[in-house]
A and B are shown apart, each in its own frame.
Chain A
Amino acid sequence: MFKKFIIGASAAALLASAAHADNFTGAGATFPAPVYTAWAQAYKAANGSELNYQAIGSGGGIRQIEAKTVDFGATDKPLKPADLDAAGLMQFPMVMGGVVPVMNVPGVNPGDIKLTGPVLAQIFIGDIKTWGDPRITSLNPTVKIPNLPITVVHRSDGSGTSFVFTTYLANNSPAWAQRVGANDSVEWPTGLGGKGNDGVAAFVKQTIGSIGYVEYAFAKQNKLTYAAMKNKAGAFVEPTAPAFVAAAAGADWTKAPGNYLLLLDQPGAASWPITAPTFVLVYKKQDKPETGKEVLSFFDWAYKNGDAAAVQLDYVPLPAPVKALMRKEWADTIKGPDGKAIYVSK
C-alpha cells in the first residue's frame, strides 16, 4: 500500500515537473548569485517560468555554456572578443560591483587611510612591508598610523574578484604586470590565502596590520575598514554606491567590442577606480529559440524591474543608456535558426 503510494507520488511529481516546459537554466559566477536568485523568485511570481541558477564559479559557467548544458553562463571575468567569436557567444553586463581594499589597522576609521593604485600594487607585491613606510605616510600626513608589519591577504581560490583586482594592479604597476599578471588565480608574491570573500574577511579581521580585498557588499555588511583610493581624476574617493554609479556613467560601451569592458580607472571626479560589471553569456545562434526568448525576457525584466532588489543586496544597477544599448544588441545579434531576432524588447 505504502509502496504504491510512493510510486504514484513520484510519477505525479515527474509529470508535474514536465509540464513546466519554459524553465531555463544558468550557471556561473558566485558574485551575482544572490541577486539572480532574488530576481528569479520575483520573475516566477510574475511570469510563471523558473530560472535554475547554479553558482559554480565563473570558470564553471564558461565551461557549461560552451558545452551547451545550460541556457546561459554567468562570469565575472569577461571573455575576450576573439574567444567569443570562436565560441559563437555574445556577452553583456547585468549588474556591477566594486572591489574594495580592506585593512585591519588599530585606531583608524573607514576611509581615513588614502592609497593610490601604484602604492597598493607595491604593498601587494611585497615592496612596502610596514604601515609606517613613507610611501603610505606621505599620502596620509594627518592620520596616526601605527608602524605595524603589513600582512597581505589574498584569495586562495580562483575568483572574478581577483581578476578585477589584479587587472587593476597590473594597469597601475608595470612591475606587477610583468611579475604577476592579471588572472582569476595568480601566483601571489606574498601573503595568506583566504577561501572566498568570507575567508579573506575573516583573516583580515583576525590579523592586526593586514590588508586584503573583498567585494563591496562584503565590506559593507561586515563593516570592514576600507581605504580611500585615488581615481583617474586625482581625487580620493570612498567606496560607496554613488562612486560606482559615477564610474559606470562615463564608460562608453559602444567602443568596447564584445562588451569587454572593466570599469577600472574610469574618468570622473567621483568615480571609484576598481568597479566591475558581471557578465552573461548566451549563444548568438539559438538552437532552441523558445528557451532563448525566455532567457532574454528574464534579463529584460531584470533590467526593467530588478534595480530595487539589486540595490537592496548592495549591487549597482547599470545606467539606463547601457541597458538600451544591450537591448539593441540582443535584437541585432541573437537570432534563431530562421535568422530572425528571437527577442525584441518592447
Chain B
Amino acid sequence: MTLTIDSSESTPKTAGRQSAPRGGALDPVFEWMCFGCASLLLAALIGVIGTLMVGGWPAFHKFGLQFFVVSSWNPVTEVYGAAGPIVGTLITSFLSLIFSLPIAFGIAVFLVEFCPPFLRRPIGTAVELLAGIPSIVYGMWGLFVLAPWFALHVQVPLLTVVQPGSWLDKLTSGIPNGANILTASIILAIMILPFMSAVLRDLLLTIPTQVRESAYGLGASTMEVVMSVSLPYIKRSAVGAVMLGLGRALGETMAVTFIIGNSHAFPKNLFDSGSTIASTIANEFNEATSDMHTSALIALGLVLFMITFAVLAIARALLGRPKVV
C-alpha cells in the first residue's frame, strides 16, 4: 500500500554516464526538476504550518492554555474555548476505530483464509466501492437514513424503558433524533472500514506461507492459526495501519458535520450531540467576520494538524523500515 523509494537500491549513477546515452546531457536537468517537485511539497508543508501558526497566534496569545480546557465557544463575547471540539474529535475517531477494527479484521481474515475464489473478486470490488463513496454522501445518508432509524429504534424505546436519574439514564439521555456522537462514530467507522480491511488483508498476505502451513501442520484449527500465529506476526504493522485509519477519521469533515448535532458544549454522554474540530471549522469559517473568531478557528486547525501529525508519526515508527512495494 505504501509506496516509498529506498535510494540504496537505485542504479549507480556511474553506469549511465559512462555509456553516455542519447539524452545523457539532460540528466542533471531531470534531476533538478525532480528535486524541484520534492522541494515544492516540502515548501507547501512548511507554508501550511507557518500560516496556521501565524493565523492562530492571536487566539493562543489571548487565551493561552485555557483555549484547550474551556468549553465555552462564544462569538458574541469573543471568548473561545476548544475543549468541546477537541474532545469530540478524539472520541468520535477512537470510537470509530473500535467499531471498525473487528469488522475490518474479519473481512481481511475471510478474504485470506476462507473465501472461495469466485467470491474474492466481488467482495474485493465491494470494499473498494465503499472506499470510493464521497464523504458528503455518507453525511447525507447518515442524516436522512441512519439518524431517524437510530432515533426510532434505539433512542425512543430507551426513553420508555429507562427511569430518570438511573445510571442508564445518565448514559443514554439525549435528544431523540439520532444526531449524536454515537451515530457520527458509526458513520466514521463505515468510512474507514474499506481502507483498514484492505491494509490488513495486504498485511496478512505478507506472512510467509511456511509460517502458516507449519502451524496447520501441527494440527491447529484456522481460528488458532489466525489468532496465535498470523495476528502476532503482523501486530506491529497492523497497529501502524490502524493509526493511518485513525488519521483519516480525525480529519473527516462533511460526513460528521451533518450528523453530530453541532453543539459546542462538552458532551455529557455518547447520545449527546457534540462537535469536532473539522465540523466547527467547516461550519463557521465562511461567516467569521471578526479577527479573533477567524484566529480561533485557525488555531483549532493547528491543533488538529498537530494531533494528526502525532498519530501519523507514531504510525510511521510502528510500520518499521519502508519497503519497496
Chain A residues in the interface with B (C-beta under 8 A)? 56-60, 62-63, 77, 151, 156-159, 180-188, 191-195, 199, 202-203, 206-207, 210
Report the separation of the CA atoms of residues A61 and B264 in the bound assembly, to the nearest whole angstrom: 26
Which of A156, A184, A203 has the most chain B CB atoms closer than 10 A to its own CB?
A156
CB-defined contacts of B286 to chain A, threshold 8 Å? 56-57, 59-60, 157-158
CB-defined contacts of A183 to chain B, threshold 8 Å? 75-76
Are B257 and A156 in contact, with the CB atoms below 8 A?
Answer: yes
Q: Apart from A187-B76, A193-B273, what are 12 other A-B pairs with CB-CB below 8 Å?
A: A59-B288, A157-B283, A184-B289, A185-B287, A186-B74, A188-B263, A192-B261, A193-B261, A195-B282, A206-B147, A206-B148, A207-B177
Query: What's the A-B contact tally at a CB cutoff of 8 Å?
Result: 94
Are B287 and A187 in contact, with the CB atoms below 8 A?
Answer: no
How far in angstroms is the closest Cβ of chain B from A299? 23
Q: Which of B269-299 contact A (CB under 8 A)?
A: 273, 275, 279, 282-284, 286-289, 293
CB-defined contacts of A57 to chain B, threshold 8 Å? 286-287
In the complex, B175 has a CB within 8 A of chain A: yes
Are A151 and B73 in contact, with the CB atoms below 8 A?
Answer: no
Task: Given A158-B288, A184-B287, A185-B287, answer yes or no on A192-B76 (Cβ-Cβ < 8 Å).
Answer: no
Are A158 and B283 in contact, with the CB atoms below 8 A?
Answer: yes
Interface string of B158-195 (1 = CB under 8 A from A): 00000000000000000111110000000000000000
Are B262 and A181 in contact, with the CB atoms below 8 A?
Answer: no
Task: Given A157-B283, A158-B286, A195-B257, answer yes or no on A207-B262 (Cβ-Cβ < 8 Å).
Answer: no
CB-defined contacts of B264 to chain A, threshold 8 Å? 187
Task: Given A151-B175, A206-B148, A207-B177, answer yes or no on A185-B288 (Cβ-Cβ < 8 Å).
Answer: yes
Which of B148, B176, B177, B262 is within 8 Å of A156, CB to CB?
A: B262
CB-defined contacts of A206 to chain B, threshold 8 Å? 147-148, 151, 177-178
Which of B75, B151, B261, B275 is within 8 Å of A185, CB to CB?
A: B75
Which of B72, B143, B283 is within 8 Å of A202, CB to CB?
A: B143
Are A180 and B76 in contact, with the CB atoms below 8 A?
Answer: yes
Task: Given A187-B75, A203-B179, answer yes or no on A159-B287 (Cβ-Cβ < 8 Å).
Answer: yes
Which of B144, B179, B293 is within 8 Å of A192, CB to CB?
A: B179
> Which bucket holds chain B's interface residue count?
20 to 34
Are B288 and A192 in contact, with the CB atoms below 8 A?
Answer: no
Are B76 and A182 in contact, with the CB atoms below 8 A?
Answer: yes
Q: Which of B8-47 contact A (CB under 8 A)?
A: none
Are A62 and B177 in contact, with the CB atoms below 8 A?
Answer: no
Interface string of B69-112 (1 = CB under 8 A from A): 00011111100000000000000000000000000000000000
CB-defined contacts of B293 to chain A, threshold 8 Å? 185
CB-defined contacts of B178 to chain A, threshold 8 Å? 206
Which of B76, B176, B257, B264 has the most chain A CB atoms closer than 10 A to its own CB?
B76
Are B144 and A202 in contact, with the CB atoms below 8 A?
Answer: yes
Are B262 and A185 in contact, with the CB atoms below 8 A?
Answer: no
Report the separation of the CA atoms of residues A157 and B244 in the bound assembly, to the nearest whole angstrom: 30
The 6 closest A-B pairs by CB, nearest first: A158-B287, A193-B262, A156-B262, A181-B76, A57-B286, A207-B177
Report the separation of the CA atoms of residues A37 and B114 in the bound assembly, to the nearest whole angstrom: 58
Task: Given A156-B257, A187-B72, A187-B73, answer yes or no on A207-B288 (Cβ-Cβ < 8 Å).
Answer: no
Report the separation of the CA atoms of residues A157 and B275 in the bound assembly, to the nearest whole angstrom: 12
In the complex, B67 has a CB within 8 A of chain A: no
Are A181 and B258 in contact, with the CB atoms below 8 A?
Answer: no
CB-defined contacts of A191 to chain B, threshold 8 Å? 175, 263
CB-defined contacts of A199 to chain B, threshold 8 Å? 143, 258
Report the separation of the CA atoms of residues A283 and B263 in the bound assembly, to the nearest whole angstrom: 38
How far in angstroms is the closest Cβ of chain B from A139? 25
